[in-house]
Amino acid sequence: MTLQDIDNRVKGCIACDLCKTRTNTVFGTGNPNASIMFVGEAPGRNEDETGIPFVGAAGHLLDDYLTAVGLSREDVYIANIIKCRPPNNRDPRPDEEDCCIHFLHEQIDLINPKLIVCLGRIAAKRLIDPNFQVTRQHGEIYSYQGRKIMATFHPAALLRNPANKVPTFTDFEKIYEIAKQENYL
């Protein structure tokens, strides 16, 4: 099985109603051999139009953080919990996550990252702990199927609340330090 095989199944997926309103499915982007994998929530308008994750305003901010600590999209892989845009960018529903999450698990198995970084509450609650609180627990390292996992603030949340930009930068510095120490790059 390859990432392309999974993407083909995502493209044909009709498991939940989000397939009725999507323009494109949004599978993932970046280095398929990356040691660092970022996991966001769900596509927004720009992602639905292009089929690529994190290409809107939140994506530009994510790129800025990567660049600021000396990383680029080519060093990492970026995907989402949900592969189709929820109407009006509402939060994905738990039943929609249940339908979709197996695709992310298959991506994780194939890419085999050493560190997963959850972008925001939805990914952290799904992958780390249903009671995860980003404000209290961001930047902490947890374990996920033998891999390191952590969460930081979602870039879209930072656009609404810039006060968390400084702690987010500290989290990205930590990501880079781990990558350097453990020869991820």
Site residues for ligand URA per CB under 6 A: 26, 40-44, 47, 53-54, 58-59, 80, 156
In single-letter form, the type of residue at position 91 comes to D
Q: What is the gyration radius of the CA atoms in the chain, in angstroms?
A: 15
Q: How far is the CB of 85 from ligand URA (least distance, A)?
A: 9
Q: How far is the CB of 23 from ligand URA (least distance, A)?
A: 14
Please name which of 156, 148, 144, 151 lies closest in space to residue 172, comparing C-alpha atoms: 151
Judged by CB, which is closer to ligand URA: 41, or 97?
Answer: 41
Q: Helix or strand or coil: residue 142?
A: strand
Q: How far is the CB of 44 from ligand URA (least distance, A)?
A: 4
Q: How far is the CB of 42 from ligand URA (least distance, A)?
A: 6
The string of DSSP codes covering 162-175 is GGGHHHHHHHHHHH
Q: How far is the CB of 182 from ligand URA (least distance, A)?
A: 26
Rounded to 5°, the CA angle 152-129-175 comes to 30
Write the CB contacts of 130 (distance below 8 Å, at least 6 apart in sequence). Answer: none
Q: Helix or strand or coil: residue 115?
A: strand
Judged by CB, which is closer to ligand URA: 98, or 182?
Answer: 98
Judged by CB, which is closer to ligand URA: 115, or 119?
Answer: 119
Judged by CB, which is closer to ligand URA: 30, or 40?
Answer: 40
- Hey, how many other C-beta atoms are within 10 angstroms of the C-beta on 178? 18
Judged by CB, which is closer to ligand URA: 11, or 180?
Answer: 11
Q: Nearest-CB residue to ligand URA?
A: 40
